[in-house]
Chains A and B, each alone.
Chain A
Amino acid sequence: MGDILIEATNIKKHFPLKRGWFEEKRAVRAVDGISFQIKKGETFGLVGESGCGKSTTGRLLNGLIPVDSGEITFKGKDLSKLSRKEWKKYRQKMQMVFQDPFASLSPRMKIKDILKEPLDIHFKQMNSKEKDTLVMNLLEKCGISEFHLNKYPHEFSGGQRQRIGIARALILQPDLIIADEPVSALDVSIQSQILNLMKDLQKEFDLTYLFISHDLSVVEHISDRVGVMYLGDLVEVATKEKIFTDPKHPYTQALLSSIPQMDPTVKREPIILSGEIPSADNPPTGCKFHTRCPFATDECKQKVPDKQNIDDDQMVACHLYKS
């Protein structure tokens, strides 16, 4: 740990909305200028509610959609300056695991072929036998036995499909795995199996994870550092310990207090945020959270808060913490 594997600097992505001729041009500001770094070997958790831009961030890092502005460097190389050919090389090193294991595996391909296809593209020099061995070993490590190699995705349960999805992401020996809500579609007993598997694989293959999830307990379990997003902004970034024991941003505090606790004897007083999440095509001025923030002042309505480093490892964007 220590070396920076991937770094995003002030990245933006706005999706334009179709409007009439004379109407003002509007756009959904999905990611609105965020910066963060992921160190080699760590798990960086990205949390936030629906529509906050966490999935878009994952896709931007992987180059699945281009950034509007800002810079992404992977292993010190600026990704926006890469040619298509170079991109292919880099994409091999960062793979994705998706939420819905039913939608992300082709229903017409056998498991064996699903796993071999990436090898056919990226490892052309490998012969068929070597590929088979690689596929078999990896599936075994992901908890799918050799016996299933010739089956189709519909013959598997949700948990098993997610194991296959993980194996497919690992087959190209990537450095970074971008996992977008990988356990959200699974039942709790299966969820814990997959989380354990991801942790084991991380150790074995020295992987770095970007773990995107709306579930704070899951993120706390798996992450080393956590970023909290709200309406396209990164409002707080800190180590897991700091986020969960000493959250600074009022939004992080409210999110944490909203998680139902599994202890009926604890009568907690959640900070119940009033109002709805504003629309990302017309976000509030100043601090985007001010419409729901219990501590909002006039300054918050007008001025966008600066990102402040409270510590080496805690960043917060809030007027309350001005030095």
Chain B
Amino acid sequence: MTELLRVKNLRTGFRTENGLLPVIHGISFHVNQGEIVGVVGESGSGKSVTSLSIMRLFHDTPGEIMDGEVLYKGENLFDLTEKRMKQYRGNEISMIFQEPMTSLNPVLKIGKQMRETIELHLNMPKKEAHQYAIKTLKSVGIPRAEDLMDEYPHQLSGGMRQRVIIAMQISCNPSLLIADEPTTALDVTIQAQILNLMKEIQVKTNMGILFITHDLGVVAEICDRVIVMYAGKIVEEATVEELFAQPKHPYTKGLIESVPKIGMKSEKLYSIPGTVPNPTNMPKGCKFAPRCEHAMAICHKKEPALMTVNHHATRCWLYDEEMMKDKQGEGMTNG
């Protein structure tokens, strides 16, 4: 499998009155061609900031990339001029956001917006672009594509709008698609349609997808590999089968157990105590330690590294062999 994207030690922060406040604390991962990689985490875990960093979409925001590299097909995107970066956006890497209405211009017809993208990125003449737009709209399962070209975004339903966005994003044949909560604003029956569509397109075009979501069910449904983020760090990474069969990090376990499952007959749901830490006041040591029921003395002092065993990475002292040996040793001397 060819590697499409490699993020190396990415650090991103927000400019505040008190200087630059880091929110992404050095994360590294990769996406291969033809692979769907999920990024899960709760609000404030830094999953959306990660995607904005990759696309360098921080105009007029306090966001700032502090350190790290984003290698796309071997080239560091952070070294490119803004002009070169523009050629990458859309042509090579595309992005879908949660709320389709905010990504569409409310005063332009769908046709105009579709054509604009195609003319700009594929250098097609207007007439050809028009035909190509209709073809792409049909390919995402829009039944009356010709009529739709003359309609405005507000005339469409949420599911239809998201289909238009997907059509727009795949019209330039990107190799990598970043989808930030693409189905969160949709109803379940429509969500099922869109997930199905995304899978179909992915199989057909063999693109890589970075799928950002908070919904573990959606992850299980669509992803091949999963990255779990907590407080701006990766705490676990594994294949989707492995992650749900054998989650290691207490946070991942807690997340999976917190979700009510149909058919589960338990009175009480598991819940992780406490809340996500505030970025201005991060705990020392492991960021999850204050909420973790397995926390040991070392967890509050020193942050564990991301340790990989058989392609399953975890950032937790419980899985540090040296640590556990010491602990057992202690237990023996004490006993």
Scan residues 182-241 of chain A and give those whose CB is less than 8 A from a CB of chain B. Answer: 187-193, 195-196, 199, 214, 216-218, 220-221
Would you call A109 an interface residue if the criterion is a C-beta within 8 Å of the partner chain's C-beta atoms?
Answer: no
- Could you tell me if A221 and B188 are in contact, using CB atoms closer than 8 angstroms? no
Residues of chain B within 8 A (CB-CB) of A255 are 188-189
Would you call B191 an interface residue if the criterion is a C-beta within 8 Å of the partner chain's C-beta atoms?
Answer: yes
1/0 per residue, CB under 8 A from A, across B257-272: the answer is: 0111111100111111
- Residue of B160, B193, B196, B244 near A262 (CB, 8 A) is B244
Residue of B nearest to A193 (CB): B271
- Could you tell me if A216 and B43 are in contact, using CB atoms closer than 8 angstroms? no
Would you call A102 an interface residue if the criterion is a C-beta within 8 Å of the partner chain's C-beta atoms?
Answer: no
Residues of chain B within 8 A (CB-CB) of A260 are 191-192, 195, 215, 217-218, 220-221
Would you call A259 an interface residue if the criterion is a C-beta within 8 Å of the partner chain's C-beta atoms?
Answer: yes
Residues of chain B within 8 A (CB-CB) of A196 are 268-269, 271
Residue of A nearest to B257 (CB): A192
Residue of A nearest to B183 (CB): A260
Residues of chain A within 8 A (CB-CB) of B220 are 260-264
Q: How many A-B residue pairs have CB under 8 A?
A: 120
Q: How far is the CB of B157 from chain A (nearest CB, A)?
A: 5
Would you call B216 an interface residue if the criterion is a C-beta within 8 Å of the partner chain's C-beta atoms?
Answer: yes
- Could you tell me if A190 and B275 are in contact, using CB atoms closer than 8 angstroms? yes
1/0 per residue, CB under 8 A from B, across A43-64: the answer is: 0000001100000000000000
Q: Interface residues of A: mostly helix, strand, loop or mixed?
A: helix
Scan residues 246-300 of chain A and give those whose CB is less than 8 A from a CB of chain B. Answer: 254-265, 270, 272-273, 276-277
Known: A214-B187, A244-B263, A260-B215. A187 touches B43 (CB 8 A): yes
Residue of B nearest to A187 (CB): B42
Known: A260-B218, A264-B244, A276-B160. A217 touches B271 (CB 8 A): no
- Could you tell me if B255 and A188 are in contact, using CB atoms closer than 8 angstroms? yes
**C-alpha spacing A264/B244, complex, angstroms:** 7
Would you call A157 an interface residue if the criterion is a C-beta within 8 Å of the partner chain's C-beta atoms?
Answer: yes
Residues of chain B within 8 A (CB-CB) of A174 are none
Residue of A nearest to B278 (CB): A157
- Could you tell me if A199 and B241 are in contact, using CB atoms closer than 8 angstroms? no
Scan residues 255-294 of chain B and give those whose CB is less than 8 A from a CB of chain A. Answer: 255-256, 258-264, 267-273, 275-276
Q: How many residues of A contact B (CB 8 A)?
A: 40
Residues of chain A within 8 A (CB-CB) of B160 are 276
Residues of chain A within 8 A (CB-CB) of B260 are 192, 195, 217-218, 220-221
Residues of chain B within 8 A (CB-CB) of A273 are 189, 192-193
Would you call A33 an interface residue if the criterion is a C-beta within 8 Å of the partner chain's C-beta atoms?
Answer: no
Residues of chain B within 8 A (CB-CB) of A118 are none
Residues of chain B within 8 A (CB-CB) of A189 are 42, 254-255, 258, 271-272
Would you call B174 an interface residue if the criterion is a C-beta within 8 Å of the partner chain's C-beta atoms?
Answer: no
| Residues in chain B within 8 A of chain A (CB atoms) | 42-43, 157-160, 187-193, 195-196, 214-218, 220-221, 223, 240-241, 244-245, 254-256, 258-264, 267-273, 275-276
Other A-B pairs beyond A221-B260, A265-B244, A277-B157, 13, CB < 8 Å: A49-B189, A49-B190, A188-B42, A189-B255, A189-B272, A196-B268, A199-B268, A217-B259, A260-B220, A261-B221, A262-B217, A264-B220, A264-B223
A-B contact pairs, 20 of them (CB 8 A): A49-B190, A187-B276, A190-B275, A192-B260, A195-B260, A196-B271, A216-B262, A221-B264, A255-B189, A259-B188, A260-B192, A260-B215, A261-B220, A262-B256, A264-B244, A265-B245, A270-B196, A272-B193, A277-B157, A277-B187
